[in-house]
């Protein structure tokens, strides 16, 4: 899957975590996944803790972080909250 397609998994919803980037509209922040990886948790452990999470979601978090630190423009998908 190409990077742009992976980044479609990263969304922003102002009603969840104050608009921080999250994974597929769920209550799991990108920063939380990155923190688990940085703490040494292998992807298998993270996936076991979040049964709905997919390997491509973890890849999307890494792509998102790489683009941020390389100062590329990153535009997460803004979810329609219906209000």
**41-61: pLDDT as tens digits:** 999 999 999 999 999 999 999
Determine the average pLDDT of the residues in 8-17.
Answer: 94
Domains of the chain: 3-78 (1.10.10.10)
**14-42: pLDDT as tens digits:** 999 999 999 999 999 999 999 999 999 99
pLDDT given at position 72 = 62
pLDDT given at position 21 = 96
Position 75 pLDDT exceeds 90: no
Q: What angle do CA 27, 19, 55 make, to 5 degrees?
A: 45
- Phi/psi zone of residue 52: left (φ > 0), alpha (ψ -120 to 50 degrees), beta? alpha
pTM: 0.83
């Amino acid at each position: 899957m190409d990077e742009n397609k992976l980044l479609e998994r990263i969304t922003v919803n102002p009603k969840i975590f104050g608009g921080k980037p999250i994974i597929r509209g769920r209550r799991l922040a990108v920063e939380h996944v990155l923190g688990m990886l940085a703490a040494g948790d292998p992807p298998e452990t993270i996936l076991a803790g979040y049964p709905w999470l997919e390997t491509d979601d973890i890849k999307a978090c890494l792509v998102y972080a790489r683009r941020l630190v390389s100062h590329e423009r990153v535009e997460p998908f803004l979810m329609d909250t219906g209000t």
